[in-house]
Amino acid sequence: MRLVIARCSVDYSGRLDAHLPEANRLIMVKADGCVAIHADGGAYKPLNWMNAPNTLVDNGDHWVVTNPKKETLTITLHEVMSDVEQELGDDPGLQKDGVEAHLQELLAASPHAIEEGLRLVRREYPTAIGPIDLVCRDDADVVVAIEVKRRGEIDGVEQLTRYIERLELDSSLGTIRGVFVAQVVKPQAKVLAESRGFSWVEVNYDELRGMKPDDLRLF
């Protein structure tokens, strides 16, 4: 991991052109090649980024990051205040809580609870940035990537987006669509999912476990 704090300006060229004017920012370069530019605010989301795989050329006063689609991110360094590198080592990944892990197991056993006609290809489908909860195929044999959460918030939609970007690097999979699944999907997550072309589904954990309403009684 390389962390650079610098007064910089950033120009993106690709599907559209975007410009970040000169300001103090954090530039993060991860071991997998992902580059992200952060401001001191705005929660976890970077102002601009380039997902791996890509190529970073360090020209001293400016960096040029290029991905396989020939999109470029040019970072002009006006003043560097800090430049440090630290090896983080292997990460064990996010550990799901008991309910979320069991929910994933139940849906893997009954993918039709998400959508009629789905059949499981693999649970914990591996990618370079972590495993996708479920990968299925639908009635039309289209690949369906599914992210499962107990509470469906926008960070889960962002996670699904990154996974699909990785899957799309494998041309043999063809068309890929995403489904965001949770017990409760927050309104903001619904809007973001739909804007990304994903569908979302709310599932009932107790029903998946085979419990009936009467089973919840104490007496």
Instruction: Quote the pLDDT of residue 214.
Output: 46
Q: Is the Cβ–Cβ distance between 74 and 10 less than 8 Å?
A: yes
Domain span at residue 59 reads 2-85
Shared domain for 62 and 108, answered yes or no, is no
Residue 91: inside a domain: no
**Residue at which a domain ends, from 57, 85, 113:** 85
Instruction: Quote the pLDDT of residue 215.
Output: 45
Shared domain for 105 and 193, answered yes or no, is yes
Tell me which residues of the chain have a pLDDT lower than 70.
Answer: 42-43, 91-98, 211-219
Instruction: Quote the pLDDT of residue 176.
Output: 95
Q: Is the peptide bond before 53 cis (omega within 30 degrees of 0)?
A: yes
Shared domain for 73 and 108, answered yes or no, is no
Instruction: Quote the pLDDT of residue 208.
Output: 86
Instruction: Quote the pLDDT of residue 213.
Output: 44
Residue 216: inside a domain: no
pTM of the model: 0.57
Instruction: Quote the pLDDT of residue 28.
Output: 95
Shared domain for 148 and 203, answered yes or no, is yes
Residue 30, domain CATH? 2.70.180.20
Shared domain for 103 and 202, answered yes or no, is yes
Provide the domain count of the chain: 2
Shared domain for 39 and 15, answered yes or no, is yes
CA distance 115 to 179: 10
pLDDT digit string (tens) for 126-181? Answer: 988 889 999 999 999 999 999 999 899 999 999 999 999 999 988 889 999 999 99
Instruction: Quote the pLDDT of residue 94.
Output: 56
Residue 71 CB coordination number (10 Å): 15
